[in-house]
Amino acid sequence: MAPSRPGFCVTLDPQVQDSLPVGTLIDDRYRLVRLLRKGGMGEIYAAEHLHTHKRVAIKLLREPWSREPVTRERFKREAQATSQIVHDHIVETLDFGVTPDGVCYLVMELLYGEDLQATLLREGRLPLRRAADIVMQICSALAEAHRHGIIHRDLKPANCFRVGFRGVQDFIKLIDFGIAKRLPRGVDNISQESVALTAEGTILGTSFYMAPEQSTGGPIDHRIDVYAAGVVLFQLVTGKLPFRGPTAADTYRLILTAEVPSARKTAPEAELPAALDELFRKALRKQPDKRYGSMDELGAAIAAVVSHASKDRPKGEGATAAVRDAAAANRRGLRMVGTVALAAALVTALVIALIWRM
């Protein structure tokens, strides 16, 4: 891992060219250092504050999107959403502004590490305990966001950033609240126009992680994040998505109609506990009111599954470990017997030699 401190740094694609040259000043305060990530409506740069020399990440909303009212308001709402949530596992927002030439920008802490999508591509499925620890951090972050009346709405591995921090290899930072939605019960100073930026019937998010009500453009609440967290955990422990069709339409159909697949059958080599399948069946229920009621509840359920799996040895993963331990002990025993036998033979030979001399 890169430096063991909070970090927003991704490996650069050599084919990606800077949209703005290195050294460009943003609002006479931030100097762009290099391009980190490029999207359809803007870019994220590593930058440096001119006066404090602090390294930061700057997300720029470029023309013509900076002048498009809905997109501009959504960008502003991302800044408001993340700046109001103070949590170890949510990227910190430091500043927001609009340059004289109309470019909106959002300043965040600079992260060093990689997102979970990159981890999955490199390592494949993760052990249950490691995956559970990661998703419990995500649950904690989203629980805090929900307490502020904010739902993320686009939870996926690419928006969960791994950094080395406080001695923890898999310290997670939740990023990209660009399509977050504020629930009506939230802070009063957010305009109704902002709340209504995505009216019923509008579909925003990433299809594989969408709850049924989100994929159809229906009314949504915090339980779509519960659903998405369940999908992320399923993908981490099996290396596969629970619902994935050959086309987007097929994926939506599976989300709406298919039974939740068994994680144990999807990845039999992982020897996952039966209780985990029960967890997925509840987290990914089609009806929101039959899912876990909160991120805290889901996090507690995940912790319980891991705890019980550890106590159930030698079942599941424990059985494999027990067999390995027994084999190792047997090998050690055989080596000891061999050593004793060799020593005995040497002693016998020595006695015979002494007797022969006599």
- Please give the positions annotated as active site: 154
* Cβ density class 118-150: b for 16+ within 10 Å, e for less: bbbeeeebbebeebbbbbbbbbbbbbbbbeebb
Complete DSSP assignment for 338-350? HHHHHHHHHHHHH
Q: In whole angstroms, what is the distance from residue 184 CA to residue 351 CA?
A: 94
- Alpha-helical runs (H) found in 68-190: 69-84, 116-123, 128-147
Is 27:95 a contact under the CB 8 Å cutoff? no
**Residue 332 buriedness (CB in 10 A; 0-12 / 13-18 / 19+):** exposed
CB atoms within 10 A of CB 110: 23
The DSSP result for 208-252, as a single string, is: GG--HHHHTT----THHHHHHHHHHHHHHHHSS-SS--SSHHHHH
CB 125 within 8 A of CB 270: yes
| Whole-number Å distance between alpha carbons of 65 and 61 | 6
Q: 6: closest CA among 163, 151, 148? A: 163
**Contact, 86 vs 134, CB < 8 A?**
no
The amino acid at 24: T
Strand, coil or helix: 181: strand
Question: What are the backbone dihedrals phi and psi of residue 199, each rounded to the nearest 5 degrees, phi first?
Answer: -70, 160
Cis peptide before 261 (omega within 30 of 0): no
**3-state SS class at 72:** helix
Strands 168-174 and 160-165: antiparallel
